[in-house]
Amino acid sequence: MGLEGRSWSAESGYRYGFQAQEQDAELWEGAVNYKYRVEDPRLGRFFSVDPLNAKYPFYSSYQFSGNRLIDSVELEGLEPGSYEEKHPGRVLVIVVQGYEGKDPPLLKTQVKNNPFAKDDPGDLNKISDIEELNDQMFDVFQFSSADSERTKDDVKETISNFMNVDPFGRIILIGHSLGADNLIEIVNENSQINVDLLITLDICDGLDIDDDNIPPNVAQAINYYQDLGWTEYGGELVEPADGNKTSDILNIPVKYSHKQIDEKLADECILLIREKANGKDWKAK
């Protein structure tokens, strides 16, 4: 059923459809063009013979995804399997810096668009230099916002655009100070956003801000906090949100000040991104 203001059509220019495959409207509306066959998602069937049907006599030669349409994906004629295992997908890394003294302009929270930005995206800019992930990783650097929803709205739009292109992609969020608060608010307010890894660097707990609850839509959370005997704005630990029994959560004390922590832990963040991109998970429990 169409919803007013939320309709979509092929004329909008978006080329991809079911399971992130390219659509082919020349055949019929909604047709999805896989590498060897064309599929009708209304029926969950192909309209040509599986090129490997002789090797799989226990399947129909026209079947799709081994007749498992919910938990599996089509692998170009092969047996059904987990998309995440066969095609780990791309990685979206969003870095939200600490507060820069004033809110970024509306719709310009990304460092590259912000007229208040410096020449580089901050102390975590090394993340852009992970050469072996150039074709797999997309990185976006944002400014945090204190008195508006600007950063949160822009981050949510970035995630939505990424998932439209790659529904099986992975999301890593990294935030420092107020940027960490912005990210924790996002994952708590948007349960449909599934985050593979959330890294927080000395969450801001000044300015009457207290965001430290990790909801179940975050698979893994690592929180670095200063342990110097004085807090400035940081020193806050994270904990599971009410009813959250699924997230792996780890709090790590460090001997860096609130202003030093993002620079000092940039290499550590890169290591965690590499491990996540290569399918290696740590377990806090």
Residues 188 and 51 in one domain: no
- Residue 1 inside a domain? The answer is no
Domain boundary among 87, 113, 146: 87
Categorise residue 21: left if φ over 0, alpha if ψ from -120 to 50, beta otherwise.
Answer: beta
pTM exceeds cut of 0.75: no
The one-letter code for the residue type at 121 is P
pLDDT of residue 55: 75
pLDDT of residue 95: 93
Domain boundary among 87, 120, 136: 87
Domain boundary among 40, 61, 87: 87
Residues 107 and 140 in one domain: yes
| DSSP 8-state assignment for residue 103 | P
- Residue 4 inside a domain? The answer is no
* Positive or negative torsion for Cα 254, 258, 259, 263: positive
DSSP β-bridge partners for residue 199: 174, 222
Per-residue model confidence as pLDDT tens for the chain (285 residues)? 444 444 444 444 556 666 667 777 777 777 888 777 888 877 777 777 877 777 777 777 777 777 776 666 666 545 565 555 555 568 899 999 988 778 888 888 888 777 766 655 567 888 877 766 666 788 888 888 887 788 999 999 999 988 887 887 889 999 999 999 999 999 999 999 999 999 999 998 655 555 788 999 999 999 999 887 665 567 788 999 988 888 899 999 999 988 889 999 999 999 898 888 776 665 444
Domain that holds residue 207: 90-277
